[in-house]
Amino acid sequence: MAHWIIITGLIAMGIILYFAPWLLKWFGKIPGDIRIETDRYRILLPIVSMILISIILTLLINISKR
Protein backbone atom coordinates (compact mmCIF):
# COMPACT_ATOMS: atom_id res chain seq x y z
CA MET A 1 0.00 0.00 0.00
CA ALA A 2 2.78 2.43 0.89
CA HIS A 3 4.44 1.89 -2.50
CA TRP A 4 1.26 2.92 -4.30
CA ILE A 5 0.96 6.09 -2.20
CA ILE A 6 4.57 7.04 -3.01
CA ILE A 7 4.14 6.34 -6.72
CA THR A 8 0.85 8.27 -6.85
CA GLY A 9 2.46 11.22 -5.07
CA LEU A 10 5.40 11.27 -7.47
CA ILE A 11 3.09 11.14 -10.49
CA ALA A 12 0.93 13.93 -9.07
CA MET A 13 4.00 16.13 -8.42
CA GLY A 14 5.26 15.46 -11.93
CA ILE A 15 1.93 16.47 -13.45
CA ILE A 16 1.79 19.64 -11.33
CA LEU A 17 5.34 20.60 -12.24
CA TYR A 18 4.72 19.96 -15.93
CA PHE A 19 1.32 21.59 -16.40
CA ALA A 20 1.16 24.19 -13.61
CA PRO A 21 4.64 25.14 -12.36
CA TRP A 22 3.35 28.50 -11.09
CA LEU A 23 1.55 26.66 -8.28
CA LEU A 24 4.90 25.98 -6.61
CA LYS A 25 6.64 29.33 -7.16
CA TRP A 26 6.13 30.18 -3.48
CA PHE A 27 8.15 27.16 -2.36
CA GLY A 28 11.42 28.31 -0.79
CA LYS A 29 10.48 31.98 -0.78
CA ILE A 30 8.56 32.18 2.50
CA PRO A 31 10.19 34.26 5.26
CA GLY A 32 12.24 31.82 7.32
CA ASP A 33 13.52 29.80 4.38
CA ILE A 34 17.28 29.98 4.04
CA ARG A 35 18.70 30.82 0.62
CA ILE A 36 22.41 31.31 0.00
CA GLU A 37 23.54 32.25 -3.52
CA THR A 38 27.02 32.97 -4.77
CA ASP A 39 28.66 32.88 -8.18
CA ARG A 40 29.64 29.23 -7.75
CA TYR A 41 26.74 27.61 -5.92
CA ARG A 42 23.20 27.96 -4.67
CA ILE A 43 21.93 26.49 -1.40
CA LEU A 44 18.24 26.40 -0.53
CA LEU A 45 16.98 25.21 2.85
CA PRO A 46 13.16 25.53 2.74
CA ILE A 47 12.60 24.96 6.44
CA VAL A 48 9.39 26.99 6.86
CA SER A 49 7.97 25.78 3.54
CA MET A 50 8.42 22.14 4.60
CA ILE A 51 6.84 22.81 8.01
CA LEU A 52 3.87 24.44 6.27
CA ILE A 53 3.46 21.49 3.88
CA SER A 54 3.72 19.06 6.80
CA ILE A 55 0.99 20.87 8.74
CA ILE A 56 -1.32 21.00 5.72
CA LEU A 57 -0.83 17.31 4.89
CA THR A 58 -1.32 16.32 8.54
CA LEU A 59 -4.59 18.26 8.68
CA LEU A 60 -5.81 16.74 5.41
CA ILE A 61 -4.99 13.20 6.51
CA ASN A 62 -6.64 13.67 9.90
CA ILE A 63 -9.77 15.15 8.31
CA SER A 64 -9.99 12.32 5.78
CA LYS A 65 -9.71 9.65 8.50
CA ARG A 66 -12.75 11.00 10.38
First to last CA, the chain: 20
Q: How big is the CA angle at 50 (ends 45 and 51), to the nearest 5 degrees?
A: 120
User: What span, in angstroms and rounded, lies between the C-alpha atoms of 46 and 32?
Assistant: 8
What's residue 13's pLDDT?
80
**Rounded to an integer, what is the distance from CA 13 to the centroid of its chain?**
9
Alpha helices in the chain (DSSP H): 2-19, 47-65
What's residue 37's pLDDT?
92
One pLDDT digit (tens) per residue for the chain, 66 residues: 778 877 887 888 888 888 888 887 888 888 999 999 999 999 999 999 899 989 988 998 899 887
Cα–Cα nearest to 28, from 10, 6, 43, 7: 43
Residue ranges of domains in the chain: 23-66
